[in-house]
Amino acid sequence: MATAVISNPDPDRFVYDPFAPDVMRDPFPYYKVLREKYPVYRLDQYDAWAIARYEDILKILTDPQAHLTTTEGTLISPSIMRRHNSGKVPRPRLNPIDMFPNLPSPYYEQIRQAAIGPLRPFAVSQLEGFIRDRVQKRLEELIERGRFNATVDFGGYVSSGVACRLAGLPLSEAPRLLELVNRSTTRNPEQGGPSAEFQHTTAQLVAMLADLVRSRRKAGADGSNKMVDGLLRVEIEGRRMTDEEIAAHLIVIMVGATETLPKVVAAGLLELWRNPRQRAEVIADLPTNVPIAFEEMLRFGAPAQWFSRTVIDHPYTIRGHTLMPGHRLIILFASANRDERVFEHADRFIWNRKMEGHLAFGYGMHFCVGVHVARLEGRIMLEELLRRIPDYEIDEANARRVISDFQLGWMQVPLIVR
């Protein structure tokens, strides 16, 4: 039987559980208490520690004394976390090989490097014309409709098309990719972790991407599709990977490329609508101001709440707490981005705030591979939308957030064309 997952934001009777329904609906009051009173917070039930402050996250992800692994995943599900490790951490799975973020060196670097050709800065800069064209054409269609969901109809449409282009899938597959990604990433609203949809939608994604890999293998993998051909050439312990293994690596990239950015853009449009003066200031000089405003949208509204790591080999002490081998870390990037020690009035959206840097794309070894394409796409979407519909309205009463322990954010932002 499922265990009740409880939480309580009262600082004196505080209980934080990332999978509690109350936390999944609105984790920010919990993050505030964690940062103030319990910056390194023990979750016995998951053999884990939540790390809430910006400074501590930076330290832990870069300190050579902190030996961390991702063999349990960078997003460990609650069912796995409930099994204590007793010091030992599962060994990496090499046959069939696990998806690359879960692998240790040198396999992790080998596969990541082989896949990211189209995500490097120069390759991404070549996508500007394609993205602008897709955004402009889509906006014409949506303006005709008069009302649309900024997250899915606009952001999702653009980002799924860009994802197809990066992997070499036909653009006609973009709607199916978007639908499968959005369904596969929904979370269980009562218990957290993957929803009942996860397994069969992931299987459909594997099938779709394995078809692509098969066709590139048949074509001789001559390098004309940088991402898939790059992966086809990788040898792990003397063997090439199967179509399905490569498809699993591609899923990580396709999900990243399709899921996150639309929520950031839609949340950003909502904040600009709530703050008309800020909207007017951004619109006054779009090419200069949009890239600045987009960084604040990332800090304020990036949907990924946390990623995980597992301590290996040596105990690690931080703020008087000793993290033992086998313990998991719940690294609360979203909390760090609201840390008052780093960002003045952290809970306020201020489009041109002074900012050294946010953690919306993570930090250190697993830093987001899609950072350049996300920034380019975000900039173009916002520039074009604010140029074409500067006085848009939002039907806030019908805006909906997802309930999720992971990718929280606005899944439905009804935008009205004026």
Q: Which is nearer to ligand HEM, 186 or 260 (CB)?
A: 260
Q: Which stretch binds ligand HEM (CB under 6 A): 168-176, 317-325, 361-369, 403-411?
A: 361-369
Question: Considering the rule CB under 6 A, would residue 177 count as an interface residue with ligand HEM?
Answer: no
Place of tokens 């697993």: 366
Among 80, 171, 221, 368, the residue binding ligand HEM under the rule CB under 6 A is 368
330 binds ligand HEM (CB under 6 A): no
Nearest residue (CB) to ligand HEM, 177 versus 264: 264
* Smallest distance, ligand HEM to C-beta of residue 275, A: 21
Q: Does 58 bind ligand HEM (CB under 6 A)?
A: no
Can you tell me which residue has the tokens 């994802």?
Answer: 163
> Which whole-number Å values give the CA distances from 298 to 333, 351, 409, in the listed order?
11, 11, 12
Check residue 307 for interaction with ligand HEM (CB under 6 A): yes
CB of 220 to ligand HEM, least distance (A): 25
Binding of ligand HEM by 50 (CB under 6 A): no
Please tell me the distance from the alpha carbon of residue 143 to that of residue 237, in angstroms, as a whole number.
53
- Asked whether position 370 contacts ligand HEM by CB under 6 A, the answer is yes
The token pair that represents 397 in the structure block: 């009463």
Cβ proximity to ligand HEM: between 181 and 399 the closer is: 181
Applying CB under 6 A, does 360 fall inside the site for ligand HEM? Answer: yes
Site for ligand HEM in 149-168 (CB under 6 A): 166
278 touches ligand HEM by CB under 6 A: no
* Out of 158, 261, 270, 318, the residue judged to bind ligand HEM by CB under 6 A: 261
CB of 117 to ligand HEM, least distance (A): 12
**Environment class of 401 (CB within 10 Å of its CB; exposed 0-12, middle 13-18, buried 19+):** middle
Residue nearest to ligand HEM (CB): 370
Amino acid at 364: G
By CB under 6 A, is residue 256 in contact with ligand HEM? yes
Q: Any contact of residue 409 with ligand HEM (CB under 6 A)?
A: no
Residue 101 binds to ligand HEM (criterion: CB under 6 A): yes
Cα–Cα distance, 403 to 410 (Å, whole number): 10
253 binds ligand HEM (CB under 6 A): yes
Q: Which of 304, 318, 323, 413 binds ligand HEM (CB under 6 A)?
A: 304
Residue 302 in contact with ligand HEM, rule: CB under 6 A = yes
Contacting residues toward ligand HEM, per CB under 6 A:
74, 101, 112, 119, 166, 252-253, 256-257, 260-261, 264, 298, 302, 304, 307, 333, 360-362, 366, 368-370, 373-374
